[in-house]
Structure formats: C-alpha cells, structure tokens
Amino acid sequence: MKDYKGKVVVVTGGATGIGFALAKQFALQGALLLIAGIQRERLKAAVEALAPHAARVECFECDVTQREQVEALAEFAWQQFGRADVIVNNAGVGPIPSTVIDSKPEDVQKVLNVNLFGVWNGVSIFGRRFIAQGTPAAIYNVGSENAFFNAIPEGAGYILSKHAVLAMTVALREEVPKHIEVALICPGLVRSELARETEQGMDTDAYAALVMRQLLAGEFYIVSHAFNMVRIHARWREIEAAFAKYAPRYTGDVEFDVRTLGVKNNWYPGYPNAAAEDLPV
C-alpha cells in the first residue's frame, strides 16, 4: 500500500518486539491500530505507549492458535472500526532447540501451532472478510530469514515453520483478488523477546522503519540483514549445480512442466497466466 492514513491495521503479537515496532510505524503513517496478544497487562502498556503516536489504538486478547479467538478478533475489529484494511500476522514463538531426528513431536507441533497455523488462521479469517469487503486491503505475514536458509543449528521445528510460511504466502499471492496486497516480512536477528540471543540483533525501531519503506513501495519480499545474500546464494548455487549436472535445460523441456500442463488440461481453473510460456526464461 502506498498510504496507510486512516487505514485500520490489526497486528497480532503487537504488544512487544517486532510487532510493537511495526504497530508504531503504522501509527506514524496515520493508521488506526488494533493490537492483539495473549498478555493483558502488556497489551495495556503497549496501548499507552502507542497512544501518543496513533490517532486511535485498541487492544484485544487473542491466542492465534485458537481459531475461534482469531474469529473474535476480526469481529471486534469490525465492531470497533467498521472494517479492517490490513492484517499483520506477526505472533510467533522462538525455536525449541533440537535436531530433526531428536525433536519431540509435541515440541515441533507447539511451534507449528503458533508460527504456521496461527498465521494461517489470520490469513483465512481476515482474508475472507477482505474479499467480501471488496476494498483495498493487505495481508502481511511475518516469516524469517529462516524461510530462505537454515540460520539456526538444531532449530528444526522453527525452520520448518518459517519455510512453510514462505510457501503459504507465495501461494496466497497468486490466489487473492487484485484488491488484496500480500507481503512476506523476513526478519533476521532483531531485538525481541523471542530468545536471549536477540539482544545482539538489529535495533527494533530501525528494523521496523526499513520494513515500512518496503511496504510503502509495494514489495513482496520484505528484507533486511544484507549478509543473508551469502547464504541464499550458497543454497541457490547448490541447487543450480545439481540441475546443470543431472537435469540441464533442453529445447521443449516445458513438456513436463506441471503448471503448463495444468493450464492446457484445465487442472487449475482461474489461473490462465500460470503457463511456463508466461515466465521469464
């Protein structure tokens, strides 16, 4: 979006850390705020801190892992403001240290419930309302640099959750009507309460200001932390080398492209521009 003035912005996990800093940035742009979180006292403190910057700020207790609570959050937004225009699915938890092999299923599920399904709840519940509302809207999902590569050793469940948010958000971008903007916010190490190690991270307000610049420009991938490119390139070079060695490009290689076949065979109704012929080579 190019202008947030007068827009109603809902931020989950908005009482502290990145969520609070993003809420402040939206307030400085003239947005009306609704912040959500699981701790009432922190929400009240955040409202007081945001009030000098915001035309209006409300709060709502909400556990994003509980779908009925996210439904209640959306209902509260429409009751209080008459609508919502932006949902920032920011609520998340940090890693529970463990390897892939040794991770306990219940620990992985705990992380996925917040970082993936909590985001999914916000996407689906607010997304349906945005579609019905028919006015310009935005869905911003907070992922991580861990959506692009594995930055954290023994962070199996966390890395899984962030790769999944990337996949979901890429799919979402193709599926929503044109009046709904989608972006994936991918923080690196930023000061927050997720983990003790974040104390050495990027300043939260500086990070949020960088995010806002990109949102105003309508970017999809919202990035920071320049050194990430080193790890991204390393992953891509390995993939590219594998294809070059075992599956190099050839004339007519589109014959097995699943999306092109899907368009020709009407597997994907409503996606007429999904064929490989429409992609840059």
Residue 262 falls within a domain, yes or no?
Answer: yes
Contacts of 90 (CB under 8 A, 6+ apart): 11, 12, 13, 14, 18, 19, 22, 142, 185
204 token code pair: 């939260």
Same domain, 174 and 272: no
Task: Supply the pLDDT for residue 268.
Answer: 77
* For residues 188-199, average pLDDT: 76
Same domain, 240 and 186: no
Pick from 267, 192, 220: nearest CA to 17: 192
Alpha-helical (H) ranges within the chain are 17-28, 40-50, 67-81, 105-115, 117-133, 156-175, 204-216, 228-246, 258-264
Given a cut of 50, whether residue 234 has pLDDT beyond it is yes
In angstroms, the CA 235 to CA 238 distance is 5
Residue 49 falls within a domain, yes or no?
Answer: yes
Residue 144 falls within a domain, yes or no?
Answer: yes
- When divided into structural domains, the chain yields a total of 2
Residue 177 falls within a domain, yes or no?
Answer: yes
Task: Supply the pLDDT for residue 281.
Answer: 47
Same domain, 186 and 62: yes
Residue 159 falls within a domain, yes or no?
Answer: yes
In this predicted model, what pLDDT tens digit does every residue of 29-83 receive, in sequence order? 999 999 999 999 999 999 999 999 999 999 999 999 999 999 999 999 999 999 9
Residue 3 falls within a domain, yes or no?
Answer: no
Same domain, 157 and 173: yes
Strand pairing class (137-142; 8-12): unpaired
Task: Supply the pLDDT for residue 194.
Answer: 61
Mean pLDDT for the chain overall? 93
Same domain, 177 and 252: no
Given a cut of 60, whether residue 276 has pLDDT beyond it is no
Same domain, 118 and 212: yes
Same domain, 262 and 193: no
In angstroms, the CA 240 to CA 247 distance is 10
pTM of this prediction? 0.93
Task: Supply the pLDDT for residue 264.
Answer: 82
Last residue of a domain, one of 229, 247, 265: 229
Domain that holds residue 122: 8-229
Same domain, 271 and 148: no
Residue 1 falls within a domain, yes or no?
Answer: no
Same domain, 71 and 187: yes
Q: How many CB atoms lie within 10 A of CB 224?
A: 18
281 token code pair: 């080579």
Q: How many CB atoms lie within 10 A of CB 78?
A: 13
CB 201 within 8 A of CB 192: yes
Same domain, 178 and 248: no
Given a cut of 50, whether residue 86 has pLDDT beyond it is yes
Count helices and strands in the chain by DSSP H and E runs: 9, 7
Task: Supply the pLDDT for residue 127.
Answer: 99
Burial 148-185 (b: 16+ CB within 10 A, else e): bbbbbeebbbbbbbbbbbbebbeebeeebeeebbbbbb
195 token code pair: 């983990």
Same domain, 153 and 244: no
Q: For residue 33, what is the domain's CATH number?
A: 3.40.50.720
Same domain, 35 and 143: yes
Q: What is the DSSP letter of 196?
A: G
